[in-house]
Structure 1
Amino acid sequence: MSRAPSRLSRYARPLLGLALPLTLALGWELAVWLGWSNGRLVPPPSRVFATIVELARSGELTRHIAATLYRVGLGFVLGVVAGTLLGAIAGYWSLARRLLDPTIQALRAIPSIAWVPLFILWLGIFETSKIALIAVGVFFPVYLGVMGAILSVDRKIVEVGRIFRLSGPAMIRRILLPAVLPAYVVSLRVGLGLGWMFVVAAEFMGASEGLGYLLIDGQQLGKPAQIVAAIVIFAILGKLTDWLIEIATVPLLRWQDAFGRERGGA
């Protein structure tokens, strides 16, 4: 008897997250329908939905989404690999941290748009510069998350590993890796979010396709519905990819006896 309500609540929780955006959308649709606003600058959801359907029927939407997903996906992988390696080195080796970290922290403060002219000059205006810019955005939170997680590992746990005479690889596999994983997953999600933000700046670099291109095209042609449609698709894709990371990492974190897990299962 208790399994049915728990299963129902498990499916109801994701739907609860849709309550706020749907309420806001219906409220604005009603406001335009009642004539409280003409909906010219901020189009109602029905007009935005019609724009998305029109773009989908013409095949443009698939092409733009595919281009953006390719850039974000490849930039995310490159940024994660570089951030994980350098973050692990800086966290585990104090000399490397003293050498690398000040420079990386200074570079982290540079706005994303400031990299654009430099990457265009170095890598050209095509895909390589766009992917490099996204990788830079992903790199910094992953690097900081990995390094900070290693530095925050409880010293007592490490001492226990030394007492049991664990080798270096065994120490990493059995102690450091489980201790770092929760913070690492968070840094991946933050890095992915920044990757979606940086792709907009990347697609401002002379792109002829992509959701960022849709934003610019809507601005230049005075199509607010197209601009809002691109923003909505960005939000949906960003949430879906974040959810995929969350789902993929659940088996790695089942050992956690955390407060949030208990509250989520209530």
Structure 2
Amino acid sequence: MSLSTGVLTRAEPAAPGAPPRRTRWRRPNLRRWISPIALLAVWQIASATGLLPPDKLSSPWTVVQAGAEVIRSGELGTAFAVSIGRVGAGFVLGAAVGIALGVLAGLSRWGEALVDPPVQMLRTLPFLGLIPLFILWFGIGEQTKILLVALGVAFPLYLNVHSGIRATDERLVEATRALGFTRAERLWHVVLPGALPPALVGLRQSLGLAWLALIVGETVNADAGVGYLINNARDFLRTDVVVVGLVVYALLGLATDALVRLLERRALRWRAR
């Protein structure tokens, strides 16, 4: 009898001599590329015909050349490393706080009564409104940027972990009691697996907000990072470099989201497809 999948099932032995299951390779959906390519074509045509002035927005080809330029000079590599470090530190801090508070509020009525009200109030505050207060408390150094990222990460994880734990099927809990499971075993075999899918959704949301918070944070007297690269290019009216920085942010967001989706597919193999 197994409860690790969140469903009471009897383990069936593998058929003798049966070949191992192979992962089916799925061809990429090329139709998803139609609209991005069309937008790039319209953008290039508008730039080439003068409908889109270069001082407003550079052409795609100019952006590509600017990207190659900042890569060769080493500016983009340095900015990339600094921004990754800030997001990494902020994510670890925010994830630890968000998951811990979500578990505490999800497992305990007293925990929910004490933790949930202030978290719900804080999560509605905008990043821009907190910047002056963070500067007064922590200065204009790295702490402010890392804490803004941590704040953006913590709330989605808290909400999804808390709701995932609260949504545990009571019938499964009653079944574990009938089977003589201890409280720790119920948590490990029923509650945590049941909370895993929403927790992974919260992880995807928190990573998206982490990059958004980083963009906000790197506008606060930054002297390095992708945000600094963008602000510096803005001062010199280099819209091509500004777009390069925005593309870097977008690609980093897509890459981290793809990693979480891969983790989700591996961790939730037991779910019916």
TM-score computed with the length of structure 1 as normaliser: 0.89
**Runs of 5+ unmatched residues, structure 2:** 1-23
Computed over aligned residues only, the root mean square deviation of the Cα atoms, in angstroms, reads 1.5
Identity %, equivalent residues: 36
Q: Which residue of 2 aligns with 1:3?
A: none
How far apart are the structure 1 equivalents of 2:255 and 2:142? Answer: 24
Q: Is the 8 A contact 2:80 2:226 kept in 1?
A: yes
For residue 35 of structure 1, report the CA deviation from its aligned partner: 4.0
User: Is 2:254 aligned against 1:235?
Assistant: no
* Residue of structure 2 in register with 1:132 after alignment: 147
**Counterpart in 1 of 2:86?**
71
Cα contact 2:105–2:111 (8 A) shared by 1: yes
Q: CA deviation at 1:173?
A: 1.0
- Distance in 2 separating the partners of 1:89 and 1:67: 33
Give the drift of 1:121.
2.0
CA distance in 2, matches of 1:158, 1:43: 59
1:172 lines up with 2:154 in the alignment: no
Out of 18, 25, 29, the position equivalent to 2:40 is: 25
Q: Does 1:112 align with 2:133?
A: no
> Aligned pair 1:88/2:123, yes or no?
no
Q: Which deviates more from structure 2 when the two are superposed, residues 149-158 or residues 54-63?
A: 149-158
Task: Note the C-alpha offset of 1:74.
Answer: 1.3
Which residue number corresponds to residue 205 of structure 2?
190
SS of the residue corresponding to residue 250 of structure 1 reads helix
Structure 1 gaps, min length 5: 1-5, 262-266
The alignment partner of 1:12 has SS state of: coil
The separation in 2 between residues aligned to 1:118 and 1:38, in whole angstroms, is: 39
Q: 1:37 to 1:136 in 2, by over 3 A?
A: closer
TM-score by length of structure 2 reads 0.87
Find the residue that maps to 1:125 and give its secondary structure: coil
Higher helix fraction: Structure 1 or Structure 2? Answer: 1
Q: Aligned-pair distance for 1:49?
A: 0.9
Of 164, 179, 192, 1:149 maps to 164
2:28 is aligned with 1:12? yes
CA distance in 2 between counterparts of 1:154 and 1:164 reads 16
Counterpart of 2:28, as a letter, is A
Query: In 2, Cα distance between the equivalents of 1:112 and 1:183?
Result: 24
Determine which of 260, 263, 267 is the counterpart of 1:245. Answer: 260
1:20-59 matches, within 5 Å, as: 20-59=35-74
8 Å CA contact retained: 2:98, 2:154: yes
Of 228, 235, 248, which aligns to 1:213? 228
C-alpha displacement of 1:225 = 1.3
Q: Which amino acid aligns with 1:61?
A: L
